[in-house]
Structure 1
C-alpha cells in the first residue's frame, strides 16, 4: 500500500546576511526563489523547490518573533522538518490519528489541533496552509529555551489550504532545475539519545504511519532504523525516508548534548550521476549537514 505520509519541507534557519545573499554552497548547487513574508510580520523565507513536490525553506526573522516563536532560540542551520498528507487525508484526520497513537507516550508529547497559517508571495498571491505541531504535555525547561511548549524532536505537519503548486511550484521546470541535478528529498536524519531511543522509535512509527526497518550491517555500529515515506510527486526516488538513530560519533554526542533530539542532516536526491554515492556540500558548518545522494 502506498504511504499516506509524505516529505513536505525542511527548515534551514539563516541569518539576515545569508538570507539577503545566500552562501555559495547554496547558490552553486540550487536555484533559490523568493518566498514571501509570513502573516505575523516577523519572518520571511526563500525556497529551493524540487520536482518531487518537496522543498528546502531558507527561514529568517527580520523582526522580533511574533510567530514561529518555537524557533526563535535555535542556532542557525537545520532546525525542523515537516511531513504532509494528500487529499482525501486531511489535517484533522492526522491530528486524530497521531494524538490517539501517542497517548501514554513517556516522551510527554502530543500534537496541537490544526492551525491556519499563510504568507503573501512576492507576486501578491496569498498562500494558505494548516499546521499540526508536536507539543509537550507539560512545560519543558531546557538550556536552549527557558520554557517551551512546542517541540522540534518530532516533525510537524503542513497541509495545503490553497493548491499545493501555489506554495510549492513544483510544476515550474525553471524553478525546479538545479545546478547540482537535485530532484527531491531523499532522507532526513534524526539523532536521539540512547536512553530514549526505544520511545522515539515508537513515537516516530505513530507520527509517520510507517513501520521501522532495521539498518543494514554497514551502519550497525549504532542503534538505528529508517522509515520509508513518500514524495508528493513521484519522480523515481528509490527510498524517500526518515532515518532515526543514536549517536554514532563524538560529533553526534555533542549535537545531542547541545540541541537535544533533533534533525541532524538533510539528503537531497540528485539525477545525472553514475554509480551510487553521496557527498556533503561542505566540510564543516551548516554546509556539512546537507548532502547530495545519487544512485
Structure 2
C-alpha cells in the first residue's frame, strides 16, 4: 500500500471520473524544506484532448475547475483551454486541429520556465553545457535553440514566447519504454510578452476553483528502476539543482518554486517502478508523467492524469 501520510482528503473531490473514485495515492513533500532551484520554475502541464473532450470537458473537470478559453496558436494547428492557479502555474487542455507528424500519439508533457533576467538563450546554454558534461549519462537528451511561439487570445492579444524543446535522437525513441515517442524530459516556455497575458493568475474570477485548487503540488515521472540514477542526473542538469533522495532510495524530488508567488513550491518527483502495475504503466504509456497532485485549500488531491495521456 502506498503511503498517503500528510495529504488531507479534499471533501470536494469525493467524485468520479471514468467511473473511478479519485483519491490521493501518494504524498508529494512540497511543504518540506529543500533547496529550490534558482534557475527554473514550474510552468504548466499539457494534456491532449479529442475534439469532443475539448469542446465539452468532462463533468469531473468542470466540477473541480474554472476553465477559460486560451485561443488559437500561431499557425492555426492547435487551440487550448486553460485551468489557471493563483500561484501562476496552470493546466493546458490542448486540442490539435491538425496534429504535426512529430507528435503522432505522444502522451502528455509538462513545461518549466525561467523568469527575467534569465533569458531563453541563457537557459539553453546552461542546460546544454551541463548535459554535454555528462554525455554518457544524459539519456541522449539535449535541447533545441529557442523557438519562437505564440497564440492569439479571444480578446485579440497576441502573445509571444520562446520554447526550448527536448530533443531525442530517432534511434533512442523506439523500444519497450517509449511505445508512443519520448516525452520523458520537460520542455521550457519563456515569455517574451508579459507573463500575465499568457497566464492571467492576477484575476480572481479565473483562479478561483470549486475544488479550492491553488496550484501544482507535484508532478511525478515514472522511470525504470535501473534508470533512476540516470534520470536523477538528467533532471539535475535541466533544473540546475540537486534532488532529495528518499530513504528507501527509489525516488528523488526536485523542489521548484511557482512563478507567481514566493510562498508556494511544488516538486518534480522521479520515481522508480517497483510493482507490476508500474511496469504495466511503462509498457503502455511509456516513461513520463504518471501522477499529478493539485494543491488545494481544502486538501491536496490527485488529478486523474493517466486518463488524459491518450
Question: Relative to 1, partners in 2 of residues 1:28 and 1:147: Cα closer, same or farther, differing over 3 Å?
Answer: closer
The TM-score, its normalising length taken from structure 1, stands at 0.84
Equivalent in the alignment of 2:42: 7
Structure 2, gaps ≥5 residues long: 1-34
Q: Is 1:53 the counterpart of 2:74 in the alignment? A: no
Provide the residue aligned with 1:37 in structure 2: 72
The number of residue pairs the alignment matches comes to 270
1:267 is matched with 293
Report if aligned partners of 1:7, 1:231 keep a CA contact under 8 Å in 2: yes
Give SS of 2:201's match: coil
Residue in 1 that maps onto 2:113: 84
| 1:292 aligned residue | none
Structure 2 residue 272 is the aligned partner of structure 1 residue 246: yes
Q: Residues 1-295 of structure 1 correspond to what in structure 2 (within 5 A)?
A: 3-63=38-98, 65-66=99-100, 69-75=101-107, 79-103=108-132, 104-106=135-137, 107-137=139-169, 139-142=171-174, 151-216=182-247, 220=248, 223-234=250-261, 236-237=263-264, 239-273=265-299, 278-281=300-303, 286=307
Q: CA shift at 1:130, angstroms?
A: 0.4
User: Is the alpha carbon distance of 1:232 and 1:187 closer, same or farther for their aligned partners in structure 2, counting shifts above 3 Å?
Assistant: same
The change in CA–CA distance for 1:247 and 1:39 in structure 2 (over 3 A counts) is same
Deviations 1:86-115 (CA, angstroms, capped at 9, x unpaired): 000110111001101111143111111110
Instruction: Specify whether residues 194 and 18 from structure 1 end up closer, same or farther in structure 2 by C-alpha distance, changes over 3 A only.
Output: same
Per the alignment, residue 30 of structure 2 pairs with none
| Highest RCO, 1 vs 2 (Cα 8 Å, sep ≥ 6) | 2
The alpha carbon displacement at 1:240 in A equals 1.1
User: Is the contact made by 2:150 and 2:159 (CA closer than 8 Å) also made in structure 1?
Assistant: yes
SS in 1 for 2:168: strand
**Per the alignment, do residues 135 and 256 of structure 1 end up closer, same or farther by CA in structure 2, a change over 3 Å counting?**
same
- TM, length-normalised to structure 2: 0.81
User: How far did residue 145 of structure 1 move?
Assistant: 8.2
Q: Indicate if the aligned counterparts of 1:108 and 1:138 stay in contact, CA closer than 8 A.
A: no
CA distance in 1, matches of 2:118, 2:136: 24
Q: Deviations over 1:209-267 (max 9, x none)?
A: 12110225xxx3x6111011111012633x41100011133222111112321011111
Cα pair 2:162 2:192 within 8 Å, conserved: yes
Relative to total residues, which structure has the larger strand share, 1 or 2? 1
Name the Cα RMSD after superposition. Answer: 2.3
**Post-superposition shift, 1:4?**
2.5
Matched residue, 2:5:
none
Offset of 1:24 from its aligned partner? Answer: 1.0
Q: Secondary structure at the match of 1:71?
A: coil
